[in-house]
Amino acid sequence: MRVLVINSGSSSLKYQVRDTVTQEVEANGQIERIGEGAGGPADHGEAMELVAAALERELAGKPLDAVGHRVVHGGERFGEPELINNEITRSIERLNPLAPLHNPANVLGIRAITAKWPALPQVAVFDTAFHRTLPEHAWRYAVPDPLYRQYGIRRYGFHGTSHEFVTGRAAELLGIPLKEFNAVVAHLGNGVSLTAIQGGASVDTSMGFTPLEGLVMGTRSGDLDPSILIYLQRQGLSADDIDAMLNRESGLKALAGDNDMRAIVDAAEAGDGRARTALAVASYRLAKYIGGYHVAVGGAQALVFTAGIGENSAAFRALVADRLGALGIKLDAAANLERSSAPRVISAADSAIPVLVVPTDEERAIADATAAVVLQARAG
């Protein structure tokens, strides 16, 4: 099946066309500066016209069979990919308050496709869905119940498509049936999240009500004392100031002055104190969570690294692994340094559990899920 995968953001729209049988990527691109003037497309409808024109060139007349959308928030309702109709779109729209930057853009992308290609089946694949299996003791915050009932305040977790894909690949690589697989999966990109996998399912994850909770990220602070927010507000900062500070000006960027892991590692090696501190804080926090999740899953059978930093930064993986001696985890220095795009083991033979690098591929996962939903719908 030929699937167009759409990742629609507020000002950008990424697309990829995949053949889900051969896994060939037949087209790939990004439309930027939507609604920002300066000659860019005025809205998501115009952006979709640009995508259609690009596809006409790149696909040379080969027809699309379906569209798969990455949708950030599925709330408590969506635990599986859904064939989109008006009711589903409205339900996604009702979740807008939970993901004000992302879900409205996802809905615009869905409506732009409906307007352009009304006959094409569309499927929504939710970033929160994989974490729908979290037990209550992991998703509930210790706050008064009306916060949950009235405002939906609970842990949802994100990066689910990536965590699910990588978990499946890791189990396969180790020859362990998915249903029996316990692991800790670290998605280390610009956004960072850790997931505790028990019996192949997510039982805890570090991102929470929003993607801000948890680990040190490129520009996000991760965990901090919630009183800090109240204190800053009392000092006169607005909610918008605090939001921007914690989401866009914090994390590695605040600590090292840069959010590119390559630049930080290079600076640290050249003796830059801020870069060293940034690496120490980020690796310490991650190691602490890995220890916690090892306990949460009753003993992990593997530690898995993925995404930009997890797949490519041998230096950062080594810093984390160095802090995991208490768990008996040990890397093989040469295997850790090897560059490859294949799933692989990077731990020493006498490591207590294997450490894996498994490249993530969210577009592939979305295309495959879309094809499965469409085929099932056709079957009846």
Q: Active-site positions?
A: 127
Write the CA distances from 188 to 33, 230, 242, 287, 359, integer angstroms. 26, 29, 24, 13, 11
Nearer to ligand ADP, 99 or 309 (CB): 309
Minimum distance from CB of 324 to ligand ADP (Å)?
Answer: 20
The only residue of 46, 49, 260, 272 in contact with ligand ADP, by rule CB under 6 A: 260
Nearer to ligand ADP, 292 or 308 (CB): 308
Query: Which position has the token pair 């008996």?
Result: 328
Q: Are 324 and 353 in contact (CB under 8 A)?
A: no
Contact call for residue 332 and ligand ADP (CB under 6 A)? no
Helix axes 273-296, 261-269, angle to 10 degrees: 120
CA torsion sign for 272, 277, 283, 284 is: positive
Degrees to nearest 5, angle at CA 61 with 57 and 64: 100
CA torsion sign for 47, 48, 49, 51 is: positive
Contact call for residue 308 and ligand ADP (CB under 6 A)? yes
The only residue of 77, 111, 116, 262 in contact with ligand ADP, by rule CB under 6 A: 262
Minimum distance from CB of 93 to ligand ADP (Å)?
Answer: 25
DSSP sequence for 126-166: ETTGGGGG--HHHH--SS-HHHHHHH--S-----HHHHHHH
Nearer to ligand ADP, 67 or 309 (CB): 309
Write the CA distances from 310 to 51, 188, 305, integer angstroms. 31, 5, 5
The beta strand positions in 59-135, using DSSP E, are 66-71, 82-83, 122-126
Contact call for residue 160 and ligand ADP (CB under 6 A)? no
Minimum distance from CB of 147 to ligand ADP (Å)?
Answer: 29
Rg (CA), the chain: 21
Contact call for residue 211 and ligand ADP (CB under 6 A)? no
Contact call for residue 104 and ligand ADP (CB under 6 A)? no
Contact call for residue 190 and ligand ADP (CB under 6 A)? yes
What is the total count of residues that contact ligand ADP (CB under 6 A)?
A: 12
Nearer to ligand ADP, 114 or 193 (CB): 193
Task: Report the alpha-carbon distance of residue 24 to residue 312 in Å, rounded.
Answer: 23
Phi and psi of 337, rounded to 5°?
-80, -20
The only residue of 198, 313, 347, 351 in contact with ligand ADP, by rule CB under 6 A: 313
244, two tokens: 């921007």
Contact call for residue 219 and ligand ADP (CB under 6 A)? no
- Give residue number: closest CB to ligand ADP: 308
Q: Which stretch binds ligand ADP (CB under 6 A): 59-67, 114-122, 257-265, 268-276?
A: 257-265
Contact call for residue 366 and ligand ADP (CB under 6 A)? no
Nearer to ligand ADP, 93 or 260 (CB): 260
Minimum distance from CB of 128 to ligand ADP (Å)?
Answer: 16
**Distant-in-sequence, close-in-space partners of 109: CB < 8 Å, separation ≥ 6:** 6, 8, 13, 44, 48, 69
Contact call for residue 191 and ligand ADP (CB under 6 A)? yes
Contact call for residue 14 and ligand ADP (CB under 6 A)? no
Contact call for residue 41 and ligand ADP (CB under 6 A)? no
Q: Which stretch binds ligand ADP (CB under 6 A): 72-80, 96-104, 183-191, 222-230?
A: 183-191
The only residue of 309, 353, 355, 366 in contact with ligand ADP, by rule CB under 6 A: 309
Nearer to ligand ADP, 219 or 351 (CB): 219
Task: Report the alpha-carbon distance of residue 367 to residue 27 in Å, rounded.
Answer: 13
Amino acid at 303: L
Judged by the rule CB under 6 A, the positions of this chain that interact with ligand ADP are 189-191, 218, 260-262, 307-309, 312-313
